[in-house]
Amino acid sequence: MEFGVLSTAGIARKAFLPAAAASDHAVGAIASRDAERARSVAGEYSIPRHYGSYGELLEDDDLDAVYVPLPNALHAEWTRKAADAGHDVLCEKPLAADAEEARATVEHCRERGVTLMEGFMYRYHPRTERAVALAREELEGVHSVSATFKFPLGDDPADVRLSPELAGGSLMDVGCYAVSAARLFLGEPERAFATTHDSRGAGVDTDLAGVLELGDGASARVASGFDSRLIQRYRVEGENGWIEVEDAFDAPTDEPTELAYRIDGRKGTETFDPVDQFRLEVEHFASAVESGESPQTDGEGAVANMEAIDALAESARRDEVVDVE
């Protein structure tokens, strides 16, 4: 498969381009609003074609698929435009700025007959797959998940993650991982409550603490932020034990990772060899396109995640419990 990449964003350069190069697939073109920037990155990563606009790249008929790592508010727009050009789309999380836009984008891609996948790379790590299997097969009465992703964001006021217009904020940037993990182990929530803080006066949340409640009494605590040391973990609790994972979402590619558990009095730690979860994500996407099967992190999952995110954000605005629509 030959990918086109819309933007020279950091996640594209640091994660996606190396992952694609390590796979059986390739990046055939990259675009930037700055033509010189596109040329420079293309040269650095040995990408054969570069374009000074996103629209030009979409007209490249030699491409099979498009990777979209643009700011959050532009994800849905350029996903739809890529679909209009006949390209399958791997879009960075979150798929859209809100659930309504996500639903419209999923339907648009369905009508165009293209594969759509949301880029939650942690879902493709063998450790995540093992945690899901362990919870399903050995944990009884799973009733609680706690998930956190926080990191120290720099002081640049122009950072897109601090822009309300570009759908910034810690919930959208990293809290979406915590919400994804909660849904992965518990299912879909019915109610949400959250509090937020804007320490930068930027108009977006720089810290969020929330609760997602399910109809059966199970609940998840989710947290995200830009003002603390790096924390990324989740814990799944059942009647007969628990599972814990550190470095849960942006897992290192050059060192082993671990999963700890205590189930029925049996305590253990499982170790996983270093792996590039972005490469596994690329390979899963290509396989889904080839087979015509829906990817694990498909459009419907993206909509459900945004419904929970929207509810948390609305709850924080209203300072009350709200239903997840």
* Cα–Cα distance, 111 to 91 (Å, whole number): 17
Give the E-state strand segments of the chain in sequence order: 2-6, 26-31, 49-51, 65-68, 88-92, 116-119, 144-150, 191-197, 207-213, 219-225, 231-238, 241-246, 257-263, 266-272, 322-323
- For 12-41, b/e burial (b = at least 16 CB within 10 A) is bbebbbbbbeebebebbbbbbeeeebbbeb
Tokens 């989740």: give the residue.
234
Residue 81 known to be catalytic: no
**φ and ψ at residue 156, rounded to 5 degrees:** -75, 110
Strand partners, 243: 236, 261
The 8 Å CB, 24+ separation contacts for 257-263 are 257/125, 257/127, 258/127, 259/127, 259/130, 259/131, 259/134, 261/134, 263/134, 263/138, 263/139, 263/238
Say how many C-beta atoms besides its own lie within 10 A of residue 316's C-beta.
21
User: Rounded CA gap, 190 and 43, in Å?
Assistant: 49
CB proximity list for 241: less than 8 A, separation 6 or greater: 138, 139, 261, 262, 263, 264, 265, 266
Catalytic residue, chosen from 14, 81, 93, 150, is 93
> Read out DSSP for 13-43?
IIIIHHHHHHTT-EEEEEE-SSHHHHHHHHH
Positions marked catalytic: 93
